[in-house]
Amino acid sequence: MKKWSFENSLWILFLSVLLNGCYGQLSNDNAENTAQRTIYSGGDIITMAGESPEYAEAVVEEDGKIVFVGSLAQAEDKYLDAKTVNLQGHTLLPGFIDGHGHIYNVGLLSGLAANILPPPDGPGGNYDGLVESVKSWIDSEKGQFIIGKFGMILANGYDDSQLEEKEHPTKDILDKISTEIPVVLVHQSGHLACVNSKALELFGLTKESPEIEGGVIRRDADGVPNGVLEEAAFFNSVLPVLGESDEEVQMRCVQSGQEEYARYGYTTAQDGRSTPDNTSALAMAADQNKLFIDVVAYPDIIWNKEAMSTEYYTLDKSYTNHYRIGGVKLTLDGSPQGKTAWLSKCYHVNPAGQTGCYMGYQILIDRMVTSYITTAFVNNWQIMFHANGDAAIDQMIRSVRSALDSTGLEDHRAVLIHGQTLRKDQIPSIVELDIYPSLFPMHTYYWGDWHRESVLGEERAAYISPTRDVIDAGRTITSHHDAPVTFPNSLRVLDATVNRVTRSGFILGPDQRITPYEALQSLTIWSAKQHFEEDSKGSIEIGKLADFVVLDSNPLKIDPTEINKIQVLETIKEGQTVYKNSSNKLISQHYSRRN
């Protein structure tokens, strides 16, 4: 039998002490002193946890969640070996949550298509600018990629209200870009497009083509399509072509869309009217772990109800690799700036080709709307309504009331998207029916002057997106960008919600302005509530996700008219930096050990 030497005994004792020490340390109550965590301090930390501003000196993140909010001294004492991030006087907020947007289309139209937005966002100030910009894009890497994939020249963002010519460009203008390749220029509203002669040929639209229900094919005096397509005429023609995207296109769209959102401080993005192509791409990105911010999709209930049967829709609202399906979307009308929204009173100035008291048009009859809502409520699906015109909002109110009477669903959190011409007398019904308005005061900057002069006239334009009255009625709101209608620029959203200043400098509806803190609530905790995510997002509180945005200035401490100049310095998703401003040299990270 082998004998143990004194040296053997010492070795065993050493191992025993080492192992016991290690395991004792892991089970010790003071384990937090050695685990890797991050302390953020050195700037204004606005928690968004109260009805008025509350600040913390420090916040600690561990494993993607917030584990401490309080004083810096307590944080440093409790977490001895934590990494520290010095905010250098900048401002930390909860990551922004998208009240309404279209992240996939941001990747496609803002990321890959030619930019023909009006100034200050693009070069689309007149017809010549449109033509030359698109021609330049054709020879670019993105242009060759899109043309190679779709056989189509694609541009996004022209706006007839901002063009010098004040008219939609027709096929004759677009034929200057190409007569050999179909050309599609998407209107900034996303509800119209103008196309060239080759595209009309591709879509089979001729003088003999019948009108399309829910849309308009604009025509010349002889009845020949002039290249301008409204609503269903646009969707039914263009979307089938874009829907033929392959995996390479889809992944580039998802990647580009995320990059744009993260650049503006969003840690949760929405895909607010998902086609089968959109949900397929997002599911594929989730399966391949290619999502670095959270994405919640709302499939179109008419086009893509089947998506609700996938594993990405769950009653507990959980994400799979940063992706979930939140509910469904139903579109009831069009765009006010494009003059396709359904109003209860005449447009101030009729669009071309319309006479008499033109009020836009509805898309669905009441019976169909009620049926879709009932389907959503029976299945416990959250439903969002695109309704810009007050007549469409009336239809939504009637139909939601009818569906609730038959289903009795509680805590449905149905969402009114846009609600541009929401009337004061409609607000009590919104509150009564527990509908969450996601309003669009960003319109006051981009189209406020146009609404005054041409769309609604002075009185109705001043009441567009009545945020003050809705909040005062006891209803929380979100404020959105509807990207790619505009860039997903959170600070432009914040600025417009607070200031309501038009391009010309006119204050549109000063009585509907809200405070900077309320506007921040609409981007954080109120938006989390709209999405059923208030327990995990929207404020800096222990147990919530460590989703943060760092701004170069505190929106609550500067002149409100300067809000639009604030820069996003960093976006942090669950403790990981997903965007950092390349010009930001001030935020420094360093490691320190305190004994």
Phi then psi dihedrals of residue 442, to 5 deg: -55, -25
Could you tell me where the beta strands, DSSP code E, fall in 321-379? 323-325, 327-331
Within 10 A of 10 (CB to CB), how many other CB atoms are there? 10
Taken in order 80, 81, 82, 86, is the CA torsion positive or negative? positive
Task: Give how far the C-alpha of residue 510 lies from the chain's centroid of Cα atoms, to the nearest Å.
Answer: 25
Q: For residues 556 and 54, is the Cβ–Cβ distance under 8 A?
A: no
pLDDT of residue 218: 95
Residue 546 to residue 388: CA distance in whole angstroms = 35
Residue 108 to residue 253: CA distance in whole angstroms = 5
pLDDT of residue 204: 96
Q: What is the CA radius of gyration of the chain?
A: 27
pLDDT of residue 545: 98
Q: For residues 503 and 445, is the Cβ–Cβ distance under 8 A?
A: yes
**Region at 266 (left for phi over 0; alpha for psi -120 to 50; beta for the rest):** beta
pLDDT of residue 584: 61
Taken in order 124, 128, 130, 136, is the CA torsion positive or negative? negative
Residue 222 to residue 233: CA distance in whole angstroms = 19
Per-residue pLDDT of the chain (595 residues; tens, 9 = 90+): 333 343 343 333 333 333 333 323 323 333 344 458 999 999 999 999 999 999 999 999 999 999 999 999 999 999 999 999 999 999 999 999 999 999 999 999 999 999 999 998 999 999 999 999 999 999 999 999 999 999 999 999 999 999 999 999 999 999 999 999 999 999 998 999 999 999 999 999 999 999 898 899 999 999 999 999 999 999 999 989 988 889 999 999 999 999 999 999 999 999 999 999 999 999 999 999 999 999 999 999 999 999 999 999 999 999 999 999 999 999 999 999 999 999 999 999 999 889 999 999 999 999 999 999 999 999 999 999 999 999 999 999 999 999 999 999 999 999 999 999 999 999 999 999 999 999 999 999 999 999 999 999 999 999 999 999 999 999 999 999 999 999 999 999 999 999 999 999 999 999 999 999 999 999 999 999 999 999 999 999 999 999 999 999 999 999 999 999 999 999 999 999 999 998 765 444 433 433 3
Residue 374 to residue 409: CA distance in whole angstroms = 10
Question: Six-digit token pair at 424?
Answer: 């004061």
Task: Give how far the C-alpha of residue 240 lies from the chain's centroid of Cα atoms, to the nearest Å.
Answer: 23
Beta-carbon contacts of 104 under 8 Å, excluding residues fewer than 6 positions away, are: 253, 254, 257, 271, 274, 278, 281, 282
Task: Encode pLDDT of 68-102 as tens digits.
Answer: 999 999 999 999 999 999 999 999 999 999 999 99
**Cα dist. 37→22, 62, 83, 508, 587 in Å?**
19, 5, 6, 47, 18
Which residue's structure tokens are 């309704």? 387
pLDDT of residue 314: 96
> How is residue 5 annotated by DSSP?
P
pLDDT of residue 534: 98
Residue 332 to residue 183: CA distance in whole angstroms = 28
pLDDT of residue 244: 83
Nearest partner of 398 among 365, 361, 376, 438, judged by Cα: 365
Residue 467 to residue 477: CA distance in whole angstroms = 7
**Residue length of the chain:** 595
Beta-carbon contacts of 69 under 8 Å, excluding residues fewer than 6 positions away, are: 47, 56, 58, 59, 60, 540, 541, 542
Amino acid at 314: T
pLDDT of residue 21: 36
